[in-house]
Amino acid sequence: MSLSPPNNGQRAIAVRALDLWKSYDDGAVTVLQGIDLECFEGRSVALCGPSGCGKSTLLHLIAGLDQPDRGRVWVNGSELDRRRNLLNLLRHEIGIVFQLHNLIPDLTLEENCLIPAVAAGTNPHAARQRLGELAERTGLHKRLKHRVQKLSGGERQRTALCRALMNRPKILLADEPTGSLDERTGGMVFDLLLELVNAEGVTLLMSTHDRALASRCDRIVEMHDGRANETVCVL
């Protein structure tokens, strides 16, 4: 199934998935059943659907964290299977935000955000400068030296967002980024998320249950039983 939006213009395809299949427990549980997906550069796509429909699994496959049983994935024009080093994907091309922020509790906000820069071997001065920019935009600049335990839920998720964008990835995968937050805080974090991806020209692929948030994305992909059933083009 082709999912190209009508107004893609001259934009390149940032993420492409073709006939993805994935099952667990030796095939007992089939999560993805031939998913096709295309995301254009700089656009935001919301993956909607009930729990267990395969949204997170799809994001994991796109990030190279897991392998599909069948099918192919392209990120920024190159097929994951043919890449020699998937580390570069996580270090430079893709940033990930999880539902549970997944921060390291004993480190400070600053240290958590610098982890991707350390992994990528980024110059420490440049990394701190980048963190400064992100912290300023997300309103965390006064909390940099605070430990994660001292932060509120919203601050934690904003920290996770900063961390995901540290190495200037072209694609941001967000797995229910507001799922653990109350409506108001979730809304604020999502505003920030959209603002940042728009400002940096990042492609956003987000899974969510929240229809209201999904409707603010460029496209919504409805998933059901491991299939992408329909696409609603918002723009």
Partner 1 sequence: MIFLKLIVTNLLRHRVRSLISIAGVAFSVAAMITVVSILQGAIGMFSNILSNDSQIIVFERDVSDLFFSNVPVSAAGEIASWPIVAHANPVLFGVVASAGHPIITCFGVDASDARIQKATWLQGERGTFAQKPNEVVLGSRAAQFLSARVGENVQLGHSTFRVMGVVKTENGFENGGVFMPLTTAQSFFHKEGTSSVATVKLRRRNDAAAFKRMVEARYPDLTALEDTEFTRSYSQFRILKATAWAVGGCGLLLGGLGVANTMIMSVFTRIREIAILRVNGFSCLQIGAVVFGEAAGVSVFGAAVGLLVGAGVLKALKMIPALDGYIDPSLHPLLMLVVLLLALFTGLAGTLYPAFYAMRVRAVEALRFE
Contact (CB, 8 A) for 112 and 148: yes
223 pairs with which residues across the strands? 228
Question: H/E element holding 127?
Answer: helix 124-138
**103 in contact with partner 1 (CB under 8 A):** yes
Q: Which of residues 144-163 bind partner 1 (CB under 8 A)?
A: 163
**167 in contact with partner 1 (CB under 8 A):** yes
Contact (CB, 8 A) for 210 and 47: no
**132 in contact with partner 1 (CB under 8 A):** no
Contact (CB, 8 A) for 219 and 7: no
CB atoms within 10 A of CB 85: 7
Contact (CB, 8 A) for 226 and 30: yes
**233 in contact with partner 1 (CB under 8 A):** no
DSSP state of 92: I
Shortest Cβ distance from residue 9 to partner 1 (Å)?
A: 32
**118 in contact with partner 1 (CB under 8 A):** yes
**7 in contact with partner 1 (CB under 8 A):** no
| Part of the chain binding partner 1 (CB under 8 A), chosen from 6-14, 29-37, 93-101, 227-235 | 93-101
Give the separation between CA 69 and CA 57, rounded to whole angstroms.
12
**63 in contact with partner 1 (CB under 8 A):** yes
| Part of the chain binding partner 1 (CB under 8 A), chosen from 29-37, 68-76, 89-97, 207-215 | 89-97
The beta strand positions in 41-142, using DSSP E, are 44-48, 70-75, 78-79, 94-97
Query: By three-state DSSP, how is residue 71 classified?
Result: strand
**Which of 13, 18, 65, 232 contacts partner 1 by CB under 8 A?**
65
**119 in contact with partner 1 (CB under 8 A):** yes
**Which of 4, 7, 78, 102 contacts partner 1 by CB under 8 A?**
102
**Which of 69, 79, 106, 183 contacts partner 1 by CB under 8 A?**
106
Give the separation between CA 220 and CA 218, rounded to whole angstroms.
7
Q: Which of residues 168-227 bind partner 1 (CB under 8 A)?
A: none
Give the separation between CA 66 and CA 90, rounded to whole angstroms.
13
DSSP state of 77: T
Q: Which of residues 67-86 bind partner 1 (CB under 8 A)?
A: none
**116 in contact with partner 1 (CB under 8 A):** yes
Contact (CB, 8 A) for 6 and 59: no
**60 in contact with partner 1 (CB under 8 A):** yes
Measured from the CB atom, the residue of 103 and 196 that comes closer to partner 1 is: 103
Q: Which residues bind partner 1 (CB under 8 A)?
A: 56, 60, 63, 65-66, 87, 90-91, 96, 98, 100, 102-104, 106-107, 111, 114-116, 118-120, 124, 163, 167
